[in-house]
């Protein structure tokens, strides 16, 4: 039976084994998928042990996405642009192929919810690793424009420059953003601590779709704030999590599972 895994620290909370086992059942694929804890300085060793035991591929989550990027033999274009890797695959020559499916997962979740990205005005809040991983797939959807804002403006400016050849992308200060967007995506880590990015509520209108990349059992603070300001729809990162997993499954197995039933399974 082909072996897969996810590496992280912490990892006990990972929903990836449940998701991939559900995909395997749905697509009638025989495989195993486990969660593997690696000490902060032992990712390479744990990965090599897994590969030596016949592992065919793995997901990589916090805090190892940059290390996986460094260890790969070959990078996909989206991994190269993201400078982070969430999917590793062993090819027939034993080489380690690296990919980043996070952005494709986000876009898949928008599509599932009938949110149109083409010609949309998108605001991306935050310019860390999570933002970098989704920029190219978002720009590939041909929005009217994508504005990226960040507490540290220089990081937003650097990303706008790096991705300029893929579409209209602009960096702005938090304080300069005073109008509504069709889609507002929160990629900052503020929801993890119950905080909010210091952006004006003018970013929201009754047509806005708000997306918080974080998810939790109850609504995130960002999505509560968006709802309080009358947005059309709020979505959280659970769909993106299942979406990126489906894209990884496709890379490994050549079949793309349905994400909707698995999102429902996790919500329940
Ligand atoms: P990740 O990989 O999750 O994106 P990261 O690379 O550490 O993690 O990025 C965290 C993001 O959240 C950054 O955009 C960060 O802003 P800075 O670049 O200015 O640090 C943002 N962030 C974290 N705490 C924040 C806060 N209290 N207010 C606004 N933005 C915050």
pLDDT for res 63? 94
pLDDT exceeding 90 applies to what percent of the chain? 97
Q: Please tell me the distance between residue 172's alpha carbon and the centre of ligand 1 in angstroms.
A: 15
CA distances from 156 to 45, 104, 105, 172, 194 (A): 34, 21, 22, 7, 23
Give me the helix-helix angle, 102-112 and 129-140, nearest 10°.
60
* Helix, strand or coil, per DSSP, at residue 109: helix
| Digit-coded pLDDT (tens) for 227-241 | 999 999 999 999 999
Residue written as tokens 């916090």?
Answer: 62
Pocket of ligand 1 (CB under 6 A): 126-131, 150-152, 155, 187-190, 195, 197
Intrachain domains 2-100+244-267 and 103-236 with the same fold: yes
| Digit-coded pLDDT (tens) for 114-170 | 999 999 999 999 999 999 999 999 999 999 999 999 999 999 999 999 999 999 999
**What CATH number has the domain spanning 2-100+244-267?**
3.40.50.10860
Is residue 65 part of the annotated active site? The answer reads yes
Superfamily in which the 103-236 domain is placed by CATH: NAD(P)-binding Rossmann-like Domain (3.40.50.720)
The verdict on whether omega for the bond into residue 63 sits within 30 degrees of 0, i.e. cis, is yes
Model-level pTM? 0.96
pLDDT for res 243? 98
| In the predicted structure, residue 194 carries a pLDDT above the cut 90 | no
| In the predicted structure, residue 81 carries a pLDDT above the cut 90 | yes
Nearest CA to ligand 1 atom 9: 128
Nearest to 31 by CA among 1, 56, 6: 1
Q: How confident is the model at residue 199 (pLDDT cuts 50, 70, 90)?
A: very high
Give the residue extent of every domain in the chain. 2-100+244-267, 103-236
Rounded Cα distance, 215 and 104, in Å: 17
Greatest C-alpha distance within the chain: 55
Q: In this predicted complex, what is the ipTM?
A: 0.96
Indicate the top mutation candidate among 188, 198, 214 to test ligand 1's pocket, ranked by most ligand atoms within 8 A of CB: 188
Rounded Cα distance, 203 and 47, in Å: 43
DSSP class of residue 113 equals: T
Nearest to 127 by CA among 105, 103, 160, 99: 160
CA distances from 21 to 25, 129, 244 (A): 6, 27, 15
């Amino acid at each position: 039976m082909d072996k897969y895994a996810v590496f992280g620290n912490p990892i006990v909370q990972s929903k990836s084994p449940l998701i991939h086992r559900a995909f395997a059942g749905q697509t009638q694929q025989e495989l195993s998928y486990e969660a593997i804890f690696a000490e902060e300085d032992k990712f390479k060793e744990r990965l090599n042990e897994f590969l030596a035991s016949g592992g065919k591929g793995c997901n990589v989550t916090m805090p190892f996405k940059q290390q996986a990027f460094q260890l790969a033999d070959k990078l996909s274009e989206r991994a190269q642009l993201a400078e982070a890797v969430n999917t590793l695959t062993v090819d027939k020559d034993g080489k380690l192929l690296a990919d980043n499916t996070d952005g494709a997962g986000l876009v898949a979740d928008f599509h599932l919810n009938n949110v149109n990205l083409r010609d949309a005005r998108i605001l991306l809040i935050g310019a860390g690793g999570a933002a970098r991983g989704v920029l190219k797939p978002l720009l590939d959807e041909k929005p009217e424009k994508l504005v990226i804002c960040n507490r540290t403006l220089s990081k937003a400016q650097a990303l706008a420059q790096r991705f300029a050849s893929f579409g209209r992308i602009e960096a702005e200060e938090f304080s300069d953003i005073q109008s509504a967007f069709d889609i507002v995506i929160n990629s900052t880590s503020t929801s993890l601590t119950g905080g909010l990015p210091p952006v004006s509520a003018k970013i929201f209108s009754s047509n806005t779709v708000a997306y918080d990349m974080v998810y939790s059992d109850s609504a995130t603070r960002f999505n509560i704030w968006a709802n309080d300001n009358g947005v059309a729809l709020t979505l959280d990162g659970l769909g993106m999590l299942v979406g990126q997993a489906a894209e990884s499954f496709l890379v490994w197995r050549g079949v793309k599972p349905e994400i909707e039933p698995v999102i429902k399974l996790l919500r329940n």
